């Protein structure tokens, strides 16, 4: 079965990922060995805590895409958009369709529902990155219910499946994707597959996305 990692920071020298160009090919090989045949590179944008080398983003992705193609891996350029106080949300959508979004941990951004609705009106599907982190987006919260009505998908990280942080969402069948959020950890491709084998319903959802 084909599998995509929808969330990672593996483009060398772009944001806070720590994979070098020399290690990049090795990382791709590990993905392929574990049956992961496509990867979405999602560098941070507008994150106040992370510096992103926007100037080299397209060039570096083109290089990475070429390296991945040599191993038979399909790649997508996306972004992980930090939703702060910007009036309009602009991102690099994965496969031209999916907008990966992250937020502050303690409180929702102002006017969030309206801005998500505007994003969805452009034909984009919002994905809420590592949903388990946000204290204001608990499984039974009103805000989460409203975001789901707008068509948002929920992504959880591998480590959150492993340590139980995402279990409340998984038990309610709320999770649509498990992803690595990989910054350079060579163990994560295997662990992603193990998590999805443990939660086959999520695996089935992911297969329909691309």
Task: Write the pLDDT tens digit of every residue in 18-58.
Answer: 999 999 999 999 999 999 999 999 999 999 999 999 999 99
High-pLDDT (> 70) share of the chain, %: 100
* Domains of the chain and CATH, by start: 4-207 (3.20.20.140)
Give the span between the Cα atoms of 60 and 66, in whole angstroms.
10
Give the span between the Cα atoms of 139 and 160, in whole angstroms.
14
Mean pLDDT for the stretch of residues 138-154: 97
**C-alpha distances in Å from residue 109, one per residue of 98, 106, 118, 142, 183:** 20, 10, 15, 15, 26
Query: Under a CB-based contact definition with an 8 Å cutoff, are residues 45 and 80 in contact?
Result: yes
Angle between helix axes 188-198 and 200-207 (nearest 10 degrees) is 110
Mean pLDDT for the stretch of residues 162-173: 98
Cross-strand pairs, 4: 38
Span 67-123, pLDDT tens digits: 999 999 999 999 999 999 998 999 999 999 999 999 999 999 999 999 999 999 999
**What is the token pair recorded at 202?**
């999520």
**C-alpha distances in Å from residue 119, one per residue of 5, 154, 189:** 23, 16, 30
**Number of Cβ within a 10 Å radius of residue 7:** 27
Mean pLDDT for the stretch of residues 201-208: 96
Question: pTM for this structure?
Answer: 0.97
The pLDDT confidence band at residue 152, using thresholds 50, 70 and 90, is very high
Give the span between the Cα atoms of 194 and 210, in whole angstroms.
21
pLDDT of residue 2: 76
The pLDDT confidence band at residue 9, using thresholds 50, 70 and 90, is very high
pLDDT of 1 over the 70 cut: no
Query: Under a CB-based contact definition with an 8 Å cutoff, are residues 192 and 35 in contact?
Result: no
Residue whose structure tokens are 């999805």: 196
Q: What is the mean pLDDT of the chain?
A: 97
Give the span between the Cα atoms of 195 and 129, in whole angstroms.
17
């Amino acid at each position: 079965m084909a599998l995509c990692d929808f969330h990672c920071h593996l483009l060398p020298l772009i944001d806070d990922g720590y994979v070098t160009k020399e290690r990049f090919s090795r990382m791709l090989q590990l993905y392929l060995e574990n049956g992961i045949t496509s990867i979405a590179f999602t560098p941070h944008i507008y994150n106040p805590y992370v510096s992103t080398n926007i100037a080299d983003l397209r060039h570096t992705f083109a290089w990475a895409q070429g390296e991945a193609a040599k191993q038979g891996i399909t790649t997508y350029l996306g972004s992980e958009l930090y939703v702060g106080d910007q009036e309009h949300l602009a991102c690099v959508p994965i496969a031209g369709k999916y907008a990966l979004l992250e937020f502050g941990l303690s409180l929702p951004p102002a006017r969030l529902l309206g801005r998500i609705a505007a994003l969805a009106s452009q034909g984009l599907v919002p994905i809420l990155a590592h949903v388990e982190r946000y204290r204001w987006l608990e499984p039974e919260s009103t805000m989460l219910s409203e975001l789901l009505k707008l068509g948002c998908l929920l992504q959880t990280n591998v480590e959150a499946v492993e340590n139980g942080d995402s279990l409340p969402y998984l038990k309610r069948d709320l999770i649509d994707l498990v992803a690595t959020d990989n910054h350079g950890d060579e163990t994560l491709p295997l662990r992603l597959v193990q998590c999805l084998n443990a939660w086959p319903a999520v695996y089935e959802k992911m297969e329909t996305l691309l």
